[in-house]
Structure 1
Amino acid sequence: MSRATVELPSAARAFLTRCDTATFTTLRPDGTPHVTPVRFTFDAATGLARVTTRAGARKARNVAAGGPAARVALCQADGFRWITLEGRAAVTDDPARLAEAVRRYTARYRAAPPTPPDLAIVEIAVDRVLHLNL
């Protein structure tokens, strides 16, 4: 998965550090959208967003079923201020990647994420950013 720096206004970067949840949209194998609330982290320097989840969760299965072309969207909103991060996604349970995801999640949300036995992360190579009033 290629990664690149994502340029964002400083207000958008600040918005992405808040302890907010976002909606995470994936596509089911039949093409219908699956939308769920999630917590996530975003690293603008690498253009990588991370969502911790269970490997067996519908969102993780949707991404895995989509293969290398799987596209997803994260949307964090507060009233009429919002930002959407879109990109290609992949699921991994690599221990080093999990540790980095947990570290970043804990720093953003000031608490560790749940740690189910099948902990996995969805990594999103962000290639499109939309925002309003940031």
Structure 2
Amino acid sequence: MSRTTVELPALTRAFLTRPRTATLTTLRPDGTPHVTPVRFTFDAATGLVRVTTRAGARKARNVSAGGPAARVALCQADGFRWVTLEGQAAVTDAPARLVEAVRRHTARYREAPPTPLDLVVIEIAVDCVLSLNL
């Protein structure tokens, strides 16, 4: 999964740092969309979105089933302002990546995410950004 810097206007970057919930859209094995609310962090310097979840969660299973070509969309909205981050996704349970995801989540939301025994992080290498009114 490649990572690149994602250039965003200052208002868009600020919008993505607010402690809001977004929706994550993944594809089920039958090709139908699965949309779920998530908390996330976005690192514009690396173009990486991180979502912590359980390995057994449908969203994690969908990404894993999609293999290295799995694509997802994450959308944060506030009224008629929104940003969608799209890209290739992968699931990892690598300890260093979990620690970084939890650290970033805690900084953004001012509380640690749930930490089930099967904690994983979905990492999304953002390659497309869509937005409105930002």
How far does residue 47 in structure 1 lie from its aligned partner after superposition? Answer: 0.3
Q: Scaled by the length of structure 2, what TM-score is found? A: 1.00
Partner of 1:38: 38
Task: Quote the Cα distance in structure 2 between the aligned partners of 1:17 and 1:70.
Answer: 25
Task: Quote the Cα distance in structure 1 between the aligned partners of 2:3 and 2:19.
Answer: 24
Query: Structure 2 unaligned runs (5+)?
Result: none
Partner of 2:108: 108
Query: Structure 1 unaligned runs (5+)?
Result: none
Which stretches of structure 1, 4 residues or more, deviate above 2 A after TM superposition? none
Partner of 2:47: 47
- 3-state SS of 2:4 partner: coil
- 3-state SS of 1:126 partner: strand
- 3-state SS of 2:5 partner: coil
Q: Scaled by the length of structure 1, what TM-score is found? A: 1.00
Residues 18-75 of structure 1: CA deviation (Å, up to 9, x unaligned): 0100000000000000000000000000000000000000000000000000000000
How far does residue 87 in structure 1 lie from its aligned partner after superposition? Answer: 0.1
Task: Quote the Cα distance in structure 2 between the aligned partners of 1:20 and 1:53.
Answer: 17
How far does residue 17 in structure 1 lie from its aligned partner after superposition? Answer: 0.7
* Percentage of identical aligned residues: 84
Task: Quote the Cα distance in structure 1 between the aligned partners of 2:122 and 2:111.
Answer: 19
How far does residue 115 in structure 1 lie from its aligned partner after superposition? Answer: 0.3
Task: Quote the Cα distance in structure 2 between the aligned partners of 1:117 and 1:9.
Answer: 38
Please tell me the residue identity of whatever aligns with 1:60.
A
Task: Quote the Cα distance in structure 1 between the aligned partners of 2:30 and 2:133.
Answer: 35
Output the aligned Cα RMSD: 0.3
Instruction: State how many pairs are aligned.
Output: 134
